A and B are shown apart, each in its own frame.
Chain A
């Protein structure tokens, strides 16, 4: 219960409470977590891939504005994904730094109050020292022998920077510190492997490479020119080439013989559409290949989004077959109904599709485990069968028909008995009450038999 959840309200206690609003907008409104694989709806709201898929399968509306929407219209929100990634990496250190700073400031204030009572001339002395006095941290600056060495807070602040620095300076320091710590120098080993800032937009490429590119896009940009000072952009394909090799490269570019880089995605091709010389001339065999595409390979099939299907058109046997093909268990505890199987398939579709959107996809067995855990958590909290929203009334009333019939017959019997000997009024009180109870119960369930009876 009392687990520590990272939360936007953490920032209220820091010197920059405005960060609360920033973090709130980086969190999904459904699960309240930082976005995982953010998707934007057609109305422009952003949610986690899995959250919005679950919401849309429950009701085809945007959770925020209630406008109708459908799954196929969801789009990746790449900027938000990058924002979340970079925010997530700095969040912990930023929070620690700011909290330490705030604590140091409070301590400094206390010290200042104590100081002020003992030594009233302090402020003029400080101004003489270096002429600059920050309002936020009036005391916590090195003052020779008077400086406190024993408190942990002041030691922490020392690590961050001189305590009298303003917020802006120290945050710049944090940024540079983090930047340097997480920036491995990218040395491009292959001469032909070029600088590709557009790589991250090719979503269908290998997940790992694209996610790596997303994490450190900023570090690569300034790094490249300093590492290779004699690079010149090719006028044809604008790749960076060594000056000595540029002429050979340009010749190859014009001839169109240059082998395409293995990491080049579709998006990159499209973006350089203005340079027609780079493209391979379209030949007829290619066109026919496009028209009759070869069947998906096993690898390609692993990356296909699953269709949603339609509950009323799907047959129970088909659902069962599909689930078995995936490797999901059916009929664990007795025979599952079509409704249960359908819900299971839907949840699997959601999990599967959301997993494909994720930057670090999980394997199929892990997903199946997740599906089972999800179903168990759903079952565990169902308060009662009758109160369940998709409770099957007819099945229930059929299964309990003998019991209901017996009760009704009993009630009828007592009623006729009452008519026969009206004198025994007190004896009939009890059964009549029970009948009323039965009626109420049946009304609550809405059973058709109850209305007839």
Chain B
């Protein structure tokens, strides 16, 4: 009810205008949206690549953060980044402890976009293998330690 109203507003806004490099892939209901993002500068890691983000909203959105992960779909891959696990889970304080209800889908996309843009390391986070094998299906159960302020 509360979440749906707010998402409806965001959606009508998104249909009207979006910042460059961000587009909507699908939003057929108010619980799951897919957004395509693209890095616009000439970062060799992500040049000419489009990545797909999956947003999962709970009933308490925007009080509670949405679950945001990268997904492999339609030939879209998971970007290489020291804070993005190979199963698509993103370690970003904005999506965890630093979430604030004034954020929205657009601002989250832009944050992730700039997180990719500023990255220069072609690597996965330490312990990526064990993490992916441990079978976390939802980022919500993970207690990330946000230790790196450089990226």
Contact = CB atoms under 8 A, between A and B. Distances in A.
B150 interface: no
A437 B16 CA distance: 46
Contact of B59 (A9, A380, A445): A380
5 contacts: A3-B8, A9-B12, A31-B6, A61-B100, A377-B2
A277 to B, nearest CB: 51
Contacts of A31: 2, 5-6, 62
A32 B8 CA distance: 10
A5 interface: yes
B138 A387 contact: yes
Given A66-B100, A382-B58, A444-B134, 9 more contacts: A1-B28, A7-B16, A9-B12, A31-B62, A55-B101, A61-B100, A381-B57, A440-B134, A446-B141
Nearest to A391: B141
B131 to A, nearest CB: 11
A443 interface: yes
Give 6 closest A-B pairs by Cβ, nearest first: A381-B59, A378-B59, A440-B135, A29-B102, A377-B1, A387-B138
B63 A55 contact: yes
Interface string B83-123: 00000000000000010111000000000000000000000
Contact of A66 (B2, B4, B64, B98): B98
Interface in B1-55: 1-6, 8-13, 16-17, 28, 30-31
Nearest to A446: B141
Given A30-B62, A31-B6, A63 B101 contact: yes
A119 interface: no
A267 interface: no
A389 interface: yes
A58 interface: yes
Contact of B102 (A64, A378, A380, A443): A64
A377 to B, nearest CB: 4
Interface in B125-148: 133-138, 140-141
A381 B17 contact: no
Interface residues of B, number: 37
Interface string A385-402: 011110000000000000
B12 A379 contact: no
Interface of A: 1, 3, 5, 7, 9, 12, 29-33, 51, 54-55, 58, 61, 63-64, 66, 373-374, 377-384, 386-389, 437, 440-441, 443-446
A378 B59 CA distance: 4
A235 to B, nearest CB: 52
B32 to A, nearest CB: 9
B124 interface: no
B134 A443 contact: yes
A51 B101 contact: yes
Given A29-B101, A58-B63, A381 B3 contact: yes
A51 B134 CA distance: 37
Contact of A444 (B17, B101, B136): B136
Contacts of B101: 29-30, 51, 55, 63
Contact of A7 (B12, B135, B137): B12
Contact of B2 (A63, A374, A383, A446): A374
B17 A9 contact: yes
B58 A7 contact: no
A441 B58 contact: no
Contact of A5 (B8, B30, B102, B137): B8
A124 B117 CA distance: 57
Nearest to B31: A381
Contacts of B12: 5, 7, 9
Nearest to B12: A5
Contacts of B100: 61, 63-64, 66
A198 B13 CA distance: 40
Given A9-B17, A61-B100, A66-B98, A379 B59 contact: yes
Contacts of A377: 1-4, 59
B130 to A, nearest CB: 10
B13 A7 contact: yes
Contact of A32 (B10, B28, B59, B133): B10
Contact of A58 (B64, B140, B141): B64
Contacts of A378: 58-60
A12 B28 CA distance: 26
A66 B129 CA distance: 35
A29 B13 CA distance: 14
A387 B12 CA distance: 29
A30 B3 CA distance: 10
Given A30-B101, A58-B63, A444 B137 contact: yes
Contacts of A437: 135
Given A7-B13, A29-B102, A58-B63, A444 B135 contact: yes
B64 A383 contact: no
A378 B28 CA distance: 19
